[in-house]
Amino acid sequence: MARVIPFKDHALAHLRERLGVVEEANQDLIAFARGHSGAVSAIHEAVLAAMEADGTDDLLHVVTQEWPLILGIDAVSLALMVGDRAFRADCNGVHQVEPQLLLRWIDQVEGVSMRAVPHGHPLFGPACELIRAEALISIDCGDRLPAGLLTLGQRSELDLDARHGSELLMFLGRSLAAIIRRWLVDPKS
């Protein structure tokens, strides 16, 4: 005796399952696009805030105090090598750094490095114990001009799209370097 297979019911169930998978993928794509758009807006806002700074002290304030709020992160520090001296600025002020140590850290970062960590980079200062995700961004102002690292940190681990995230952070670092370079090369600007 032949058995009748309910093809219509099976096909309909299979199509509903595939539609659910496609709908879920579509929602993931929409969420990514919204998040990416928000990240782009935040980076642009941070660069504009830095461009509006009135001087070096104001720029350090913008980077270390305002950028965490603008970017939705917990900590920002900027370390620069100026001549044979090195310093880092964070939310607690400006501090001297051993020049050879900063040069070694600079050499370890090519462009942008994003990673989850058990504790943050030492450049975060006292906040390093709280940091669980960080981005290290190379700052290169040009020959005979400051070089350094911009560090961004967050208490929670991040799930980043490394390619798009690093492009945005590279833009942030290059913009900051251009602002610093412009002040040092043409201080009247």
Q: Are 69 and 189 within 8 A, CB to CB? A: no
Q: What is the pLDDT of residues 5-38, one digit of tens each?
A: 666 776 777 777 876 776 766 565 555 555 555 7
pLDDT of residue 27: 61
User: pTM of this prediction?
Assistant: 0.76
| Beta sheet of 147-154, edge-to-edge order | 93-97, 85-90, 75-82, 147-154, 133-140, 112-116
Higher pLDDT, 15 or 156: 156
Give the confidence band of 55 by pLDDT, cuts at 50, 70, 90: confident
pLDDT of residue 34: 53
Alpha helices in 84-153 (DSSP H): 99-107
Q: Are 46 and 73 within 8 A, CB to CB? A: no
Longest dimension (CA), the chain: 96
Percentage, residues of the chain above pLDDT 90:
48
Q: Are 151 and 115 within 8 A, CB to CB? A: no
Cα–Cα distance for residue pair 98/81, rounded to 1 Å: 10
